[in-house]
Amino acid sequence: MANSTLFNTQSNHLPACDTLNASSASAYAYSPKHQLAQLAVTGCLNQTFYASAESQLDQVLKLVAELDSRFVAKAAIYARKKGHMKDMPALLLAALTAQRSSLVPEVFEQVIDSGKMLRNFVQILRSGATGRKSLGSQPKRLVQNWLNSATERQLLQASIGNQPSLADVVKMVHPKPAEAWREAFFAWLIGKPVEAKALPELTRDLLAFRSGASDEVPAVPFQLLGNETLSKEQWANQARNMGWQGLRINLNSLARHGAFEVPGCIEYVAARLADPQEVAKARVYPYQLLAAYRMMGENTPAAIRDALQEALELSLANVPTLEGAVVVCPDVSGSMGSPVTGYRPGATSQVRCIDVAALVAAAVLRKQPAARVMPFEVNVVDIQLNPRDSVISNAEKLAGIFGGGTNCSAPLKRLANSKAKVDTLIMVSDNESWIDAQRRGASETMRQWERIKKLNPQARLVCIDIQPGHATQAADRDDILNVGGFSDAVFDVIEQFTSGQYSAQHWVEAIESAS
């Protein structure tokens, strides 16, 4: 009898792997549009476990050169409006600018929606990374228009940060404002002499506080207050001036400066953090809340911790209750210890890929108590989770399992061997499977999924790649969806895919259908 492993008729119809992943194991390549779509929506442009920041940049620019500029433009807009990305939309806009695309004004208007985005765009363009170092007449005019239409508060917010600073940008483009207050503001910003009475109100209040002429803390971002020492009461007032995201980011600062010792401050901050409308308006990512929770110091009041947990539960409101037998497979291998947004000097995220994988599993379990959670590395790791526990509690239990190689097919093989009932299988991984590498033909993940499909013809597989690259272990087809990265939108995508409303090319179709 011939070797059944080599000459297995049941798997011959499966597509053969056509590339190698970052672990030099066989995998399936994404199409150029799919690659750019995934990078646009989730790319971090930082060092990850498998890819350098430079290699990601090179890959993006290569794809931009290959693809139609209309698709690139839509990807930039989608990444900003739907993915809430910062660096990637600015990079795509800069690349289109370098190509002298006629779409630049349209993309600029929708992507450059804050001073931070404006400075990102100027920094990337001036760096020469996209092929040019000068702004050029059209980009210069677009930047001037933004500066001449922004509110005083937007301009003050934009003045936080360097490389380039807002003053640097003003010196580059020489805006010619129509309003006297704006002309005075720009003069002050770049260090030219100007009469205080000519400045707008908030800026006057800021200068009065900085000079000691006023004890009243102005309603501006606290980063602009200089080196003045604020009292506990003034820090408590700052908490009331902060936006929701500002509160989340600065909880340790408020605690360190005694704001929570001021009567009423704890209650105010806790109520805002757990306010459903505020959470929805802030467009907060669940892993941002997990990061804030993990980074809180020991002196942070219990009420604030509880409020963050409540905010996390609220941020997962769009997690669907999936029908049928649901299985979630979080990757807990060693490579998942990489920061989810990559390594960045001085700004590396405290949230690792394994934390996000665990968060997805815990969130699904919360909405679907009968769901089966199968963490894996080389093999499946058995664990007991209580669906009634908080999402953070279960996520921390899962993230506590850590180490070993990556074997994406391990949970699928166990399910197939046990002839398990499966309607939806969600795999959350960095997708760099190598333990189960095949020398030829289909990937082991596809082989095992085919065994599951013979038992469960209606089953659907969703592969969430936390740090998307150029390849996957499961080829796109009607019953397989590859999703790059993680955001609030992922759960909605899962629900619509499992109900038959999305195809395997979701990100590409979503970008192409965007107006």
What is the distance between the alpha carbons of residues 466 and 496, in angstroms, rounded to a whole number?
20
The total number of structural domains in the chain stands at 2
Residue 257 lies in a domain: yes
- pLDDT confidence of residue 504: 56
Q: According to the model, what pLDDT value does residue 227 have? A: 58
Residue holding tokens 């308006």?
A: 281
pLDDT digit string (tens) for 195-244?
999 999 999 999 998 888 888 888 888 788 765 678 899 899 889 888 89
- Rg (alpha carbons) of the chain, rounded to whole number: 25
Q: Which residue has the higher pLDDT, 93 or 484?
A: 93
The answer to whether residues 506 and 360 belong to one domain is yes
Taking only the tens place, the pLDDT of each residue in 384-431 is 999 888 888 888 888 888 888 999 999 999 999 999 999 999 999 988
The answer to whether residue 214 is domain-embedded is no
CA distances from 214 to 18, 127, 199 (A): 68, 41, 16
pLDDT in tens, 116-148: 999 999 999 999 988 888 888 999 999 999 999
User: What 3-state DSSP class applies to 433?
Assistant: coil
337 and 376 within one domain: yes
485 & 440 share domain: yes
Whether residue 389 sits in one domain with residue 482: yes
| Residue 464 CB burial class (10 angstroms; 0-12, 13-18, ≥19) | buried
Pairing of strands 372-373, 326-330: parallel
- Clarify whether residues 306 and 364 are in a common domain: no
Contacts 24+ apart (CB under 8 A), 132-141: 132/97, 132/98, 135/172, 135/173, 136/97, 138/97, 138/104, 138/105, 139/97, 139/104, 139/108, 140/172, 140/173
Q: Are residues 477 and 506 in the same domain?
A: yes
Is the residue at 379 inside a domain?
yes
Q: What is the mean pLDDT of the chain?
A: 86
Whether 448 shows a pLDDT value over 90: the answer reads yes
Contact call for residues 88 and 72 (beta carbons, < 8 A): no
pLDDT digits (tens, 9 = 90+) for 471-482: 889 988 889 988
- Flag whether 125 is in a domain: no
Q: Given strand 372-373, what is the order of strands in its sheet?
A: 372-373, 326-330, 424-429, 460-465, 480-484
| Domain coverage including residue 248 | 232-315
How would you label 155-187 residue by residue, b for 16+ Cβ within 10 Å and e otherwise? bbbbbbeeebbbebbbebbebeeeeeebebbbb
Q: Give yes or no: residues 323 and 284 share one domain.
A: no
- How far apart CA 152 and CA 185 sit, in angstroms, is 9
484 and 335 within one domain: yes
pLDDT of residue 47: 46
pLDDT for 228 equals: 63
- The answer to the question of residue 366 being in a domain is yes
Residue 112 within a domain: no
Buried b / exposed e over 112-125, threshold 16 CB at 10 Å, is beebbbbbbbbbbb
428 and 331 in a single domain? The answer is yes
Are residue 291 and residue 368 in the same domain, yes or no?
Answer: no
Residues 406, 290 within the same domain: no
Residues 480 and 382 both lie in one domain: yes
23-80: pLDDT as tens digits? 888 989 888 998 888 777 765 554 444 455 677 788 889 999 999 999 999 999 988 8
User: Is the overall model pTM greater than 0.85, yes or no?
Assistant: no
What pLDDT digit, counting tens, does each position of 142-193 carry?
999 999 999 999 999 999 988 899 999 999 999 999 999 999 999 999 999 9
Run of H or E including 328: strand 326-330
Is 463 among the domain residues? yes
pLDDT number for residue 189: 95
Determine the pLDDT at residue 264.
Answer: 96
Segment 250-270 mean pLDDT: 94
- The CATH number given to whatever domain includes residue 379 is 3.40.50.410
- Residue 91 falls inside a structural domain: no
pLDDT of residue 286: 76
Q: How do residues 280-336 score in pLDDT, each as one tens digit?
A: 888 777 777 888 888 888 888 999 999 999 998 888 776 778 889 999 999 999 888
* Tokens coding 416: 């197939």
**Of all helices (H) and strands (E), which one includes residue 476?**
none
